[in-house]
Amino acid sequence: MRAFLFINRVNNGTVLEYYRMSKHIYPLLVAQFLSAFADNAILFTVIALVMQSAQPASWYVPALQSVFLVAFVLLAPWVGSFADKHAKSRVLIIANLIKAGGAGLLLLKVEPLIAYSIVGIGAAIYSPAKYGILPELAGHSGLVKANSWIEGSTILAILTGMVVGAKVADASITWALIGTIALFLISAATTLFLPVTLSKTPPEGSKIVVFYQEVSSFLSLPRSRFAVLGASLFWAAAACVRVIIIAWAPLVLMTHNASDIAELTLFLALGIIAGSALVPRLIPLEHLRRARIPAYLMGLLIIALSFTDSLWPARFVLFLMGTAGGMFIVPINAALQELGQQSIGSGGAVAMQNFFQNAAMLLSVGIYTLAASQQVGPIAALLALGALMMLATFLVVLRLPDSVTSSNRE
């Protein structure tokens, strides 16, 4: 396995340390891919289930996505400490079993809103353990690279899960659900190959009070604040772009086919994969401030999309937007995990991130929905979103230091 060489300066001396990426990264990648694949396959299976029923799809599908996200917000005070209190490898197993249980309820024809909310609970538990275990497996020098692999494999799982899940669901809802249950169980079994380690014992007391205290303490540091608010900014913008494209593409590109709109989203996702692959060489953790550059570019590209009026330029802009987004989010995730491990616990930090970013997604999509109901067009919405993205980046990065040495990290 490839060895990573890095230089650590301590007390004016140079110490050469050799870091070897843990072999346990690979089982985590497999487990994460299968779980994310099943997450997206089950989403489109539920959508197909609703579309084939008498339910009012105009409001029901957004409601399904909302009940999934709400779990990340409501359970944030508990899932982070749960991930830090127990071995994260075993928390991943529990989360996958809960997801499989939600899929099983769908198979038993339980109300989809209830069943899919159970899947959301499993996902809310899964996320802090998935990202929180990375510092334990990769260490400081391999953390950005490990995050780029996780993000790339997750996007690949999202793309393939959407396509395969939709096609299988169109043929048979029952077999689609059986397939997702099997994938969740295989992912859980793969997680057995991960080490059983405890990195931090969370504090006792009311989880809500502790969560509030941890949020206040964590956000007091500039790099921590940038990591949390930056991730929230990215996901709020990404969620809004996905929703706006649904209205923008038929108006501007004259595309009235759902698969054509999905193809546009594909270019955005491919860009995120490219950005995730490029970023380890360009934005190390010691120079987190550099992440502001792709954030500004992402805002500019959102504005550029509003001026695009043909298919291939739109695809190109979306690909570049995704690339900038991938380069923005990967080092931010890595910084948040390391800072969390050094302070409140990496699981707690990821749960906090989930709280803010999912609340931001719900808020941003809600604001756009309200604006659209007031006859605000998608072009104006893209212009406003891009401008807000750049302004928010400027405000968040104001007090972020230029660089942080390995002996003097915040």
Domain boundaries of the chain, sorted by first residue: 1-200, 203-404
Which residues, in sequence order, are CB contacts of 343 under 8 Å at separation 6+?
Answer: 217, 218, 224, 349
Domain 1-200 and domain 203-404 have a common topology: yes
Res 100: pLDDT: 95
Q: Do residues 202 and 77 make contact, with C-beta atoms less than 8 angstroms apart?
A: no
In angstroms, the CA 154 to CA 53 distance is 30
One digit per residue, the tens of pLDDT, for the chain of length 410 reads: 333 333 333 333 333 333 345 566 788 888 989 999 999 888 878 877 876 776 555 456 666 777 888 888 888 778 877 777 778 888 899 999 999 999 999 999 898 889 999 999 999 898 878 877 777 777 656 666 777 777 778 878 887 887 788 778 878 889 989 999 999 999 999 988 877 765 555 556 566 777 777 777 777 777 777 777 888 888 888 878 877 887 787 788 876 554 566 677 778 878 887 887 787 777 776 676 777 888 899 999 999 998 988 888 988 999 999 899 888 887 877 777 677 666 666 566 666 777 888 888 888 877 877 777 777 888 888 999 889 988 888 887 776 655 544 434 44
Question: Which letter, b or e, does each residue of 152-165 get, where b requires 16 or more Cβ atoms within 10 Å of its Cβ?
Answer: bbbbbbbbebbbbb
Fold of the domain built from segment(s) 203-404? Growth Hormone; Chain: A; (1.20.1250)
Output 172-180 pairs: Cβ under 8 A, ≥24 positions apart. 173/45, 173/48, 173/49, 173/52, 174/107, 176/41, 176/42, 176/45, 176/48, 177/42, 177/45, 177/103, 177/104, 177/106, 177/107, 178/107, 179/38, 179/41, 180/38, 180/41, 180/42, 180/45, 180/100, 180/103
Give the helix ranges, DSSP H, for 75-172: 76-85, 88-107, 112-132, 134-171
DSSP-derived 3-state class of residue 203: coil
Res 347: pLDDT: 60
Phi first, then psi: give them for residue 122, nearest 5 degrees: -60, -40
Q: What amino acid occupies position 212?
A: Y
In angstroms, the CA 122 to CA 78 distance is 13
- Which CATH code fits 1-200? 1.20.1250.20
Handedness of CA 109, 110, 112, 117 (dihedral sign): negative
DSSP code at position 400: -
